[in-house]
Amino acid sequence: MAKAIRVPRKKGEEMRRRLSSSGILDEEYFPSHDEKYVYLPVKKSVPRYKLVEVEARRRELRKSFKEMLSEIVGWESEGIFSSYDIVGDIAVLEIPDELRAKEKEIADALLRTNANIKAVLRKESGMEGEFRVRRFSFLAGEKRTEATYVEHGVSMRLDLAKVYFSPRLSHERGRIAEKVRAGEKVLVMFAGVGPFALVIAKKQKDAKVYGIELNPDAVRYFEENVKLNGMEGRVEAILGDVRKVVPERFVGVADRVLMPLPKSAEDFLDVALLAAKKGGVIHFYTFVNRAEGKEAAERKVFEAGRKAGRKIQILESREVRPFSPSTVQIVVDFRAA
Ligand SMILES: C[S@@+](CC[C@H](N)C(=O)[O-])C[C@H]1O[C@@H](n2cnc3c(N)ncnc32)[C@H](O)[C@@H]1O
């Protein structure tokens, strides 16, 4: 039952608007009507109208995740729940220690307020080991870590617990793909499940893209993704260590080489220079101390060029994304003569 005022039907809509704009309409309930009158639910009495009790249907008031979060953690703590990523239908949360006691509630709220999310995971670690894989724990929803992620019109299957993957590099993948010209041979070292290679092939139909990857699980998904996007013959997934595969198959072959392994790409600049043909372009990703800036990344490139006897021309250096308060990820685009 709700409290309402009774208004003749032809005046109903005008009155509903007035009550709504003055905050008197009780929006938790739907208005109802009979042949002569409309019954408008109200929060308090309205001069010249008698309050009546009516059977009223309750609205499903859908709260947003932000509203629920605010109720769960309190508005003063909202800021410390930093972020979450969505990979397909899986949400990945970073929960600070202060909120660990409320993590299940937060995860449930995310599931309830977002129909596209089916599973919620918590990051248990940073990227670890040679394969750069993260550990997760389950918070809510379906117990799985495999998803289909769509970006730049490319679909990718992947298992977050078995391979590296970051949706945060989407912009960077688009930026590189825009640079690739018709007829190029592109070599993606450290290719993972293929996001850079596939996005490039999507945007530039007349390029041949090779991806080399050490993690057998990632290569299995990479091959599946090549088929999923109908890119057989244009994109080749190669299982192996770049240090072995490049000297065997790619010496002086590539118009463009990508090095998306910021943790240790500098140890492989010699390999990238071996693969890049004269005048080829290399995209080198690395972490540097924020205070040192882009110059620190460029110094690594010049040093590798000197050792390889190749003249280096920097095309562009830019911040890809912040990594921690003191560290940033930088990409240096350069040409090797
Ligand atoms: C940071 S991840 C990037 C993956 C992918 N490019 C992406 O953006 O999703 C680096 C990848 O390099 C692979 N890797 C590490 N060392 C390698 C090597 N020597 N040869 C080939 N791949 C390697 C790891 O297994 C990992 O999948």
282 alpha carbon – ligand 1 mean position (Å): 16
pLDDT at 82: 55
Question: Are 32 and 178 within one domain?
Answer: no
pLDDT digits (tens, 9 = 90+) for 105-130: 999 989 988 889 999 999 999 999 99
Question: Are 140 and 91 within one domain?
Answer: yes
Question: Are 33 and 70 within one domain?
Answer: no
Question: Which has the minimum average pLDDT: 24-28, 67-71, 247-251?
Answer: 67-71
CA distance 188 to 184: 13
Question: Are 71 and 190 within one domain?
Answer: no
DSSP output for 10-55: HHHHHHHHHHHHTT-B-TTB--EE-SSEEEEEBSS--TT--EEEE-
Q: Which range marks the domain in which residue 38 is found?
A: 2-54
pLDDT at 74: 74
User: Which class for 273: exposed (0-12), middle (13-18), buried (19 or more C-beta within 10 A)?
Assistant: buried
pLDDT band at 65 (very low <50, low <70, confident <90, very high): confident
Residue 33 placed within a domain = yes
Average pLDDT on 8-29 reads 91
pLDDT band at 42 (very low <50, low <70, confident <90, very high): very high
Question: Are 249 and 323 within one domain?
Answer: yes
157 alpha carbon – ligand 1 mean position (Å): 16
pLDDT digits (tens, 9 = 90+) for 271-316: 999 999 999 999 999 999 999 989 999 999 999 999 999 999 999 9
CA distance 154 to 169: 14
Ligand 1, closest atom to CA 130?
A: 15
- CATH number of the domain encompassing residue 77: 3.30.300.110
Total number of domains in the chain = 3
Question: Are 281 and 182 within one domain?
Answer: yes
Residue 156 placed within a domain = no
17 alpha carbon – ligand 1 mean position (Å): 59
190 alpha carbon – ligand 1 mean position (Å): 3
Rounded to the nearest 5°, which phi and psi values hold at 48? 75, 0
pLDDT at 96: 83
pLDDT at 78: 62
Q: Which residues line ligand 1 (CB under 6 A)?
A: 130-132, 164-165, 169, 190-192, 195-196, 212-215, 218, 241-243, 260-261
